[in-house]
Amino acid sequence: MASVITSRDPAKAQGKTTRILIVDDHPIVRQGLRMTIEAERDLTVCGEAEGVSQAMQLYHETSPDVVIADISLENGSGIELVKELISLNPQLRILVCSMHEETLFAERALHAGAKGYINKEEATDKLVAAIRRVATGRVFLSEQMTDRMLFRQVGTGDEPPKSAIESLSDRELEVFEQIGHGVTTREIAEKLHLSPKTVETYRENIKRKLNLTNATELTRHAVQWVLETS
């Protein structure tokens, strides 16, 4: 459920605080993030949302300085949310906080317009540091991901080769993940606000890029990938 939160800390009211909107479809995760953030005198949570539509509503209502968003949301994709928010406000600071594999999603998040990516398993102090860094307009990534992107940028040949999964577009990867969770084509279309025909096109593209011959292989491959990355 979407909610607007007003800080009651007098110390925060006296100085400049960074106002943060949390977007995650797990209430316990939102609670944990809020507790971590509210423990800092210069940070405050101005709202919580579980999905894309609620996040957009709260963005307009609360005008946050920073948005923290997961990749998988109640009614859409965190990557698509980032794109939509940045289209409205290119100066908005967004930190993606997710359990998904950083090597596969961090670069996608930055290309979408986010300023950083952090895994939910990181320590609390790293989360706070990530929020503060992103709030100032700087990029936050793990050291390993930073090295990977720098190697790729300068073309030294030291970076790991791209996997077949990395060749998928953002939407294709989103559809692939939904297939791995056992979601039907029609349900995927409804969840992602696409037509069933468009989802079928994505399925065909995925099979071609991953060298899969039929729907059974696609489903098996997707389920295995979800199990390995969850």
Show which of 152, 174, 198 is a domain's final residue: 152
Which CATH number covers residue 195? 1.10.10.10
Model confidence pLDDT, tens digit, residues 32-88: 999 999 999 999 999 999 999 999 999 999 999 999 999 988 778 899 999 999 999
Judgement on whether residues 9 and 86 belong to the same structural domain of the protein: yes
Model confidence pLDDT, tens digit, residues 154-176: 665 555 556 788 889 999 999 99
Mean pLDDT computed over every residue of the chain: 88
Residues 6+ apart with CB under 8 A from 18: 42, 43, 44, 65, 66, 131, 132, 135
Judgement on whether residues 148 and 99 belong to the same structural domain of the protein: yes
Does 228 score more than 90 pLDDT? no
Q: Count structural domains, the chain.
A: 2
Judgement on whether residues 13 and 67 belong to the same structural domain of the protein: yes
Query: Which residues pair with residue 119 across a beta bridge?
Result: 98
Containing structural domain, residue 33: 3-152
pTM here is 0.78
Please report the pLDDT score of residue 148 as a whole number: 76
Judgement on whether residues 38 and 144 belong to the same structural domain of the protein: yes
Show which of 120, 152, 184 is a domain's final residue: 152
Q: Which two tokens stand for residue 54?
A: 């609620």
Residue 160 is assigned to a structural domain of this protein: no
Judgement on whether residues 117 and 148 belong to the same structural domain of the protein: yes
Residue 159 is assigned to a structural domain of this protein: no
Q: Are strands 18-23 and 76-77 parallel, antiparallel or unpaired?
A: unpaired
